[in-house]
Structure 1
Amino acid sequence: MRALQVTRLSEDLGGVELRDIPQPAPGPGKVLIAVRAASVNYPDLLMARGEYQMKPDLPFTLGGDLAGEVVAVGEGVTRVAPGDLVTAIGIGAFCDCALMPEATVDPWPEQLAAPQAAAFGAAYLTAYVALVERGRMQPGDWVLVHGASGGMGLAAVDLAKALGARVIATSTSDEKLDEIRRLYAPDQVINIRSGFRDKVLEITGGKGADVIFDPVNGDVFDESVRCVAFDGRLLVVGFTGNRITSIKTNLTLIKAFSVVGVRAGEYFRRFLDRRPRATSALQELVRDGRICPHVCREFPIEDWKSAFGLVAGRQALGKVVLTL
């Protein structure tokens, strides 16, 4: 079968290649899925470069987010059976048949086409963990979403709006902000090229944002500290910006706000009982038509370089998906 694998770590992704490898067989607790679509996430690029916190042994298959049909199940698997349409999250999605742990396999929401279903899992589960589980977001809260044009950011805008928050979406592109406004109707948008602190304070009546979703870090984090509300939650979701920053703890004391780390995958590995609740809540929102992932481009897996280029160049709005 075909698999997009990393054979050596390389800054320019020169160690990534589409290879023919044997189809795996599912062992205990594993599910073999014929992949129909798989979404490209920024961590895929980091893993290919050796810059991600998770470093699989070489060679390994990239991809962590898919939609497909169950082909076979291993011993002890009870939640799914061959023929079921599912989504799944785990390393090794960019291939014809992916092997995934049963715990990360969920029903494919019938309202979503394959590319949308592939774009749903990781982005929306991360947004849910960030906003609901870690951010304690409430209806009426002001939620500032940085990197709103990316897959996770756009999911956060969509989910926050669906749950009754007042959303401020940020980007460095007026064109992308116009599209975000069309897709998900945030309450306000801000082009942050010339800063955002004063605009956030003005929008919120001087209060600041109750919850800040930050997948960027660096300069964006530093300025977010200046416009977070008293008792607010500043969510550290990623590091796509210019540097990893630090904070003076006296600022957290003065405004009594929390800096909260968000790592959804590890969160659910440690708290297994919480994943079904999150998945159920998200799937109900999909069924009710209140949330829907946005896929901006689809590419056949043979054209993976174009897909990766869009993500690396931050040209995409929402998700880029590989089809098989």
Structure 2
Amino acid sequence: MKAAVCTSLDGYESLEIMDVDIPTPKANQVLIRVQASALNFADSLIVKGKYQVKPPLPFSPGLECAGVIEQVGSDVTNFKVGDRVMAILDWGGFAEYAVAAEHDVFPIADNLDFTTAAAIPVAYGTSHHGLRMKAGLKKGETLVVHGAAGGVGLTAVEIGKRVGATVIATAGGAEKLAICKEHGADHLIDYRDGGVREKIKELTDGLGAHVAYDPVGGDLFTETLRSTRQDGRILVVGFASGDIPQIPANIMMVKNITCIGYHWGAYRTLDPDSLRTSFAELMGWIEDGSLKPHVSMTFGLDNIKEAYAALVGRKSTGKVVVTL
């Protein structure tokens, strides 16, 4: 099969398109004929050896995919050959075939195309589970989303609106803010103009937001901490800025703020049932049209370096998907 292969931890520029063996599923796994696989920020880290998962070289990156089940392991009971599915992967999505554990595989409706389905598991899974089950976002609350035009941020905007929250989106530039508005954001802040803290306060009558969703870190986290209301919650999702902030405990104490460290992927083993509950509601929203995943760019496997460049260079909004 054809696959994008990482042979050294020198970043995406060193990826090679190679012919490799089709993987064999274990007893609890399925083999998926991949139709599409989406890029995530973590994919830029894993090829540098900087992600928490460190596959042995050589390997194919790719943490999620959609396709058709080609083979099932002897212990698999919920799927059969021919089922249309999306899956969460440890790695291996940028290839014509991938293996996934049964508990990481989810059925998709017949009317959901594979490109859209591939964009769902990681980004939508992260935002839905995080906002609903970790941060406890409720109807009528105010949600701030940083990096709101990105692959994860835009899903948080959509889910926040679907829950019934007032959503304040921060992003860099008018074009990205327009995407946030299109996907439901009530208020827009261009962080490049500065004054994020003051603008959030102004939009919330001086009280601050109930919940903040932060995949960016750095200076924006500091702005967030100081513009979250008493008894608010901050969901720490990632550090796309490259700057990991240190949290002043005194501010947390005085304002009764809860800072929630959140690594969604850990729930695949910590509490897989909670992911199934999350995906059940999420897929219901997608199937009834309440959520419409945004894929801004697609690339063929042979152009995977260009796909990475678009993601890392922040040229994309929503999701970047590689089609096979």
Tell whether the structures are fold-level matches, with TM greater than 0.5. yes
Asked if the contact 2:104–2:268 (Cα under 8 Å) also holds between the matched residues in 1, the reply is no
Unaligned runs of 5+ residues in structure 2 are none
Structure 1 counterpart SS, 2:119: helix
Pairs within 5 Å for 1:71-220: 71-90=70-89, 91-182=91-182, 184-193=183-192, 194-220=194-220
Q: Which residue in the other structure is 2:221 paired with?
A: 221
Cα-to-partner distance string for 1:73-101 (whole Å, 9 max, x where unaligned):
00110111100000001111110010111
Asked if the contact 2:146–2:153 (Cα under 8 Å) also holds between the matched residues in 1, the reply is yes
> How many angstroms does 1:168 deviate by?
0.6
**2: CA distance, partners of 1:256 / 1:192:** 26
Structure 2 counterpart SS, 1:60: coil
Asked if the contact 2:129–2:275 (Cα under 8 Å) also holds between the matched residues in 1, the reply is no
Q: Amino acid of the residue matched to residue 64 of structure 1?
A: L
Q: Amino acid of the residue matched to residue 83 of structure 2?
A: D
Verify: 1:20 aligned to 2:38, yes or no.
Answer: no
**1: CA distance, partners of 2:276 / 2:175:** 37
Q: Amino acid of the residue matched to residue 168 of structure 1?
A: I
Asked if the contact 1:219–1:242 (Cα under 8 Å) also holds between the matched residues in 2, the reply is no
> How many angstroms does 1:15 deviate by?
3.0
Asked if the contact 2:13–2:305 (Cα under 8 Å) also holds between the matched residues in 1, the reply is no
Q: Which runs of 4+ in 1 moved over 3 A?
A: none
Verify: 1:47 aligned to 2:46, yes or no.
Answer: yes
Q: Which residue in the other structure is 1:281 paired with?
A: 281
Unaligned runs of 5+ residues in structure 1 are none
> How many angstroms does 1:273 deviate by?
1.9
Q: Amino acid of the residue matched to residue 185 of structure 1?
A: G
Q: Percent identity?
A: 39
Structure 2 counterpart SS, 1:176: helix
Cα-to-partner distance string for 1:169-209 (whole Å, 9 max, x where unaligned):
11011111012212x12111110111311110111111111
Q: Which residue in the other structure is 2:6 paired with?
A: 6
> How many angstroms does 1:59 deviate by?
0.9
> How many angstroms does 1:109 deviate by?
3.2
**2: CA distance, partners of 1:20 / 1:235:** 41
> How many angstroms does 1:318 deviate by?
0.4
**2: CA distance, partners of 1:109 / 1:246:** 43
**2: CA distance, partners of 1:288 / 1:31:** 28
**2: CA distance, partners of 1:242 / 1:15:** 22
**2: CA distance, partners of 1:267 / 1:229:** 28
**2: CA distance, partners of 1:136 / 1:105:** 25
Q: Amino acid of the residue matched to residue 82 of structure 1?
A: V
**1: CA distance, partners of 2:301 / 2:138:** 40
**2: CA distance, partners of 1:31 / 1:189:** 43
Q: Relative to structure 1, is the Cα distance of residues 105 and 140 closer, same or farther in structure 2, using a 3 angstrom cutoff? A: same
Cα-to-partner distance string for 1:189-248 (whole Å, 9 max, x where unaligned):
110111311110111111111110000001111111110111111111011114111011
Verify: 1:230 aligned to 2:230, yes or no.
Answer: yes
Q: Amino acid of the residue matched to residue 69 of structure 1?
A: V
**2: CA distance, partners of 1:240 / 1:253:** 26
**1: CA distance, partners of 2:231 / 2:109:** 36
Q: Relative to structure 1, is the Cα distance of residues 255 and 111 closer, same or farther in structure 2, using a 3 angstrom cutoff? A: farther
**1: CA distance, partners of 2:294 / 2:302:** 22
**2: CA distance, partners of 1:273 / 1:118:** 21
Q: Which residue in the other structure is 2:244 paired with?
A: 244
Q: Which stretch of structure 1 is more off in the superposition, 212-221 or 172-181? A: 172-181
Structure 1 counterpart SS, 2:121: helix
> How many angstroms does 1:275 deviate by?
1.7
Structure 1 counterpart SS, 2:103: helix
Structure 1 counterpart SS, 2:297: strand
Q: Amino acid of the residue matched to residue 22 of structure 2?
A: Q
Structure 2 counterpart SS, 1:151: coil
Q: TM-score, normalised by structure 1?
A: 0.97
